[in-house]
Amino acid sequence: MEDRMLNVGSMGLAHSPNRVLRNTYALLALTMVPTVLGALLGVQMNFALTGGMGFIVFMAGAFGFMFAIEKFKNSSIGVVLLLAFTFFMGLMLSRLIQSVLGYSNGGSLIALAAGGTGIAFFGLATFASTTKRDLSGMSKFLTIGSLLLLAAIVANIFFQIPALYLGIVVVLLGISCAWLVHDINRIVQGGETNYISATLGVYLSLYNIFQSLLALLGIFGGDRD
């Protein structure tokens, strides 16, 4: 994401790194509400998009929202679009949640994944905001890694190899943690001045950390009894 200035009408500007970080965390907390609502609705509706067509719909919806959010990042419309996007992402997450709830200990696994995500966020955010190093150089390698991971996800839609799926989940967890450190460090270093864009990046990292942890807990800790 490019450097940008925030202009959200009467909401006020957030030019200093500390203000951007505070506003990012506040908006990030707000995004959890539509995410949870979307996930709950999806579970109640037994919502599921599977296979290649489901992946296409998900990618089209996600990238469409992200493009619109960036387009309107300098107005309050960007906040509305971001919240709508997080509702959509919660809806997309519901299939994994339904799968985990099929285990007798599914509720505990979801709670563990949420707790693990919170611990990871606290630890990684603390490191990213206190280190004196500028970690912006990570973006090139993370972008390449993300593209390769996307290619692996597409391949696994057709081949359905359990070992490949497990590898994808583990790599996604690692890349998402690295992106989280990168994005928060970029805010602290003054490289990101728009808290809407900043929140979008941090949210995506947290979302992927949570779903990766949940998938791993389901694979290794799910109890069918």
- Write down the pLDDT at residue 224: 77
Q: Encoding tokens for residue 136?
A: 């912006």
- The CB-based long-range contact list for 156-161 (8 Å cut-off, 24+ gap) reads 157/51, 157/52, 157/55, 158/52
pLDDT in the model for residue 222: 85
| Residue-averaged pLDDT of the chain | 91
Does pLDDT of 2 surpass 70? no
Could you count the other beta carbons within 10 Å of the beta carbon of residue 1? 15
Reply yes or no on whether the pLDDT at 8 is more than 90: no
How far lies 176's CA from each of 37, 38, 46, 47, 179, in Å? 23, 22, 27, 25, 5
Give SS3 for 190: coil
Confidence bin at 24 (pLDDT 50/70/90): very high
Instruction: List the structure tokens of 72.
Output: 């309107």
Phi, psi for residue 173 in degrees, rounded to 5 = -60, -45
126-173 residue pLDDT tens = 999 999 899 989 999 999 999 999 999 999 998 899 999 999 999 999
Contact 96, 214 (CB under 8 A): yes
| pLDDT per position as a tens digit, 60-96 | 999 999 999 999 999 999 999 999 999 999 999 999 9
Cβ atoms of 182 and 136 within 8 Å: the answer is: yes
- Taking Cα atoms as reference points, which of 158, 167, 176, 168 lies closest to residue 116? 176
* Residue pointed to by tokens 């339904």: 98
pTM over 0.95: no
Place of tokens 């979307």: 38
| Angle of helix 138-159 versus helix 51-71 axis, rounded to 10 | 150
The token pair that represents 124 in the structure block: 């990684």
Residue 10 DSSP class: G
What span, in angstroms and rounded, lies between the C-alpha atoms of 137 and 209? 22
